Amino acid sequence: MTEVHRSSHANVIKEKISGYLRLMRVQNCLIAIMASLTGNLIGGGITLLPHLVPFLYCAGGMVLNDYFDYELDRINRPDRPIPSGIVSRESALFFSSVLFLIGSIILIFSGGALTVSIGIVAMLMLVVYNWKMKREGGIIGNVMVSSLTAMTFLYGGSLSGSLEMPLLFSAIAFFAMTGREIVKDIEDALGDSAFNVKSLPITRGEEFSRRVASLFMSLAVILALIPVTLSINVVVYSILVSPSLICYAYSVLSLIRGGDVKLISKVTKWSVVPAILAFLGGVLV
């Protein structure tokens, strides 16, 4: 019986750890580090420790998102750690606070005034968005999320003291992510409507939301063509960025033609990785 009890206890611990990792959306946080490193490198420098801040802030924001979205997730994503009972809401809130605290300590002791300012503003935006703007902000909430993604490039650029090139990539990320956030709202419209979430698809309808999302994504594609006119390795950039451009071009056409928003959401989520690699390759090679 003792061995059975120990095995059961070990399984519970593993399940808890897995639950916390799922709350953090580690893959998203790794993308945040990649964006920050990219901004740092294309800005002309490299400093490693401060890049933990975007990871920790991203993780804290993701956990906080699930804390506030508990009721919504019971409908949209009942398998998430909180609605499924793996992690309690109180534990999730405490975990989020710890992640933000550790990130802030690293930020204050390893960044300059501009870097600290960008980081603190980003953290406050994460809290305000999850607390209030996600449900009531409509497209303003979408813009807040995409701005946070864009700020990650600027944060990295501020570490090297140069924001010129990071600003362009920040703008590309802003338009791309705004489009994707609207697509995610279309995907979640059923559950959101039950809780009076004022997302664009609910207030203005799915067709209008598809057009707006396709517009933002189209602007991202157009801006992504600008680097070929700058002093970067055009061949390397063009090759590496092609998968992202193809994915976003497909998503725009699919949105206009009434395609599956779940598929569009997945396609656009992972296409950010080759885009970041293209930014890095074009500048460094």
Q: What is the pLDDT at residue 71?
A: 84
In a domain, 38, yes or no: yes
Cα–Cα distance between 130 and 123 in angstroms, integer? 11
Q: What is the pLDDT of residue 5?
A: 56
Q: pLDDT tens-digit profile of 188-204?
A: 888 778 777 888 999 99
In this prediction, the residues of the chain whose per-residue pLDDT falls under 50 are 1
Q: Is residue 10 part of a domain?
A: no
Residue 193: predicted pLDDT: 80
Domain annotation covers residue 8: no
Interval 218-238: pLDDT, tens:
999 999 998 877 777 889 999
Count H helices and E strands in the chain, helices first: 15, 0
Domain encompassing residue 158: 18-284
Whichever domain contains 146, its CATH number is 1.10.600
Per-residue model confidence (pLDDT) at position 107: 96
Q: Is residue 116 part of a domain?
A: yes
pLDDT for res 2: 60
Specify if 53 maps to a domain: yes
Residue 4 lies in a domain: no
In a domain, 266, yes or no: yes
User: How confident is the model at residue 178, as a pLDDT?
Assistant: 95
- Rounded to two decimals, what is the model's pTM? 0.86
Q: What is the dihedral of CA 245, 251, 252, 257, to 10 degrees?
A: 150
Does some domain include residue 12? no
SS3 20: helix
CB atoms within 10 A of CB 72: 21
Quote the number of domains for the chain.
1
